[in-house]
């Protein structure tokens, strides 16, 4: 079994932004591309940010047992980790990076156990989270409301993750994340 780093947090907390910065630093990282039944947003591309599937196709793959885990994260919108992603990345000898919702994060941690470092990305406050979701400029009012409604419950689950990173100043948060990941990755080689 290889290693995995998993990022969880409510939508808008900065997971994608932090992962993007870390990918520049860690050559060994490979992003696990999730499948989703939602439509692409902004500059997102199929097979890069997500595998964008129709709802029927998503459910067909659920039935076929192709997912390691999946969730209906928002009413009518599903997200999930395909087992084929794990094989694809570990076969290449790289470290898997997951960006999943809080329930998915708990399930993946349970599955990988000590081979995964679970990181919770915490916004400085709910108000800042709301501002960031708005300033991202890619979500409708309805989509922002759905995300905020879910976030309060999700934030309470931070303590079950291995590490919590407060995403106040981006560079500081990235540096702190880099340090904990280096410690985790090097642990076996000490
Ligand atoms: P997530 O992947 O968790 O949904 P994003 O990475 O898309 O969140 O971040 C949401 C928005 O907040 C984006 O517009 C991003 O540029 C912005 N953002 C992320 N981190 C910070 C930060 N530390 N300070 C200010 N804005 C940030
Ligand atoms: P977004 O629509 O903002 O890209 O993602 C919405 C939520 O779905 C985020 O919290 C994101 O982490 C989560 N998500 C993305 N991929 C997966 C996945 O494969 N499994 C689970 N459980 N959640 C996911």
Nearest ligand to residue 41 Cα: 2
Query: 126 pairs with which residues across the strands?
Result: none
Neighbours of 107 (CB within 10 A): 17
Q: Which atom of ligand 2 is nearest to the CA of 36?
A: 16
Protein residue closest via CA to atom 12 of ligand 2: 100
- Per residue in 100-149, pLDDT (tens digit) is 999 999 999 999 999 999 999 999 999 999 999 999 888 899 989 989 99
The strand pair at 77-82 and 67-74 is best described as antiparallel
pTM of the model as a whole:
0.93
- Per residue in 47-101, pLDDT (tens digit) is 999 999 999 999 999 999 999 999 999 889 999 999 999 999 999 999 999 999 9
CA of 79 from ligand 2 middle (Å) equals: 6
């Amino acid at each position: 079994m290889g290693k995995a780093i998993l990022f969880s947090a409510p939508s808008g907390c900065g997971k994608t932004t932090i992962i993007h910065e870390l990918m520049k630093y860690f050559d060994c990282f490979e992003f696990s591309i999730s499948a989703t039944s939602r439509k692409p947003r902004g500059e997102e591309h199929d097979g890069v940010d997500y595998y964008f599937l129709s709802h029927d196709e998503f459910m067909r793959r659920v039935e076929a047992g192709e997912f390691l885990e999946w969730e209906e994260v928002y009413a009518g919108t599903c997200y999930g980790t395909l087992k084929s992603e794990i094989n694809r990345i570990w076969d290449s000898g790289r470290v898997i990076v997951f960006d999943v919702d809080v329930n998915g994060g708990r399930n993946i941690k349970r599955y990988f156990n000590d081979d995964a470092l679970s990181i919770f990305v915490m916004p400085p406050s709910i108000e800042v989270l709301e501002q960031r979701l708005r300033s991202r400029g890619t979500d409708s009012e309805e989509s922002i409301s759905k995300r905020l409604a879910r976030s309060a419950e999700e934030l309470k689950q931070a303590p079950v993750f291995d590490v919590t990173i407060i995403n106040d100043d981006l560079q500081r948060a990235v540096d702190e994340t880099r340090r904990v990941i280096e410690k985790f990755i090097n642990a076996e080689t000490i």
